[in-house]
Structure 1
Amino acid sequence: MKIHIEDLKFQCIIGILEHERIQEQDVIINFECEYEFKNEYINYTQIVDLIKKKMIFSKFKLIEDAILSLKSEISKEFPLINSYTLKISKPSILADCTVSVSDTFSV
């Protein structure tokens, strides 16, 4: 089975520029995971809540640091997940594009 969480959008402090440390900005998260369904399911609402809380509370400087931190939390909290891809985008940091970082993890 696969779970897809697409275009999860909220605001948080993320970035190294001075204004990014003061003003919240939009982030968009895309998450896809694979797991073997055997009478146990993964509550996608809990995944969304974990991602939002971690991003808002931690005020990461780098998207890369956010991804690695979320990797640790997701792997710990959701042992049924076999592999997943996480993508964090900052749609408003540059006027003519969206900047993103992503990675895929096998658990």
Structure 2
Amino acid sequence: MEKQSPGTKPVFAGRSFRVDYEGLSAHNRYSEDGETIRYEIVSGPYAGASGEARCQWRQVGDGVYAISWQEADGATVVHLDDFAQGRSLAYFTAADMSFHRMQGPLTALAAD
């Protein structure tokens, strides 16, 4: 993995995105420093779930980032997001311990 320099911001910092997976869509809004995510599930079995969490990220390629966080209910999320190509892979363990592997398009949302 590529090393991050102190103070380096990821390409997604301060931006918002929609991810559309089979059966689930979400809006992810990242803080200006890229260290916090606000998420909202907008469709699918978890629709209405939302919150904010600290996230960790690592750049793994040109425009490609591994991003992970844990939600307040204990759910864990890992994304491998390709912001250059607009694709997302996500691995999600829900609070009920069900495990989901998802992939789909990643689309920038208009500024809030």
Q: Same fold (TM over 0.5)?
A: no
Q: Which has the higher contact order (CA 8 A, sep 6+)?
A: 1
If each structure's strand is expressed as a fraction of its own residues, which one has the higher value?
A: 2
Scaled by the length of structure 2, what TM-score is found?
0.33
Larger radius of gyration: 1
Scaled by the length of structure 1, what TM-score is found?
0.34
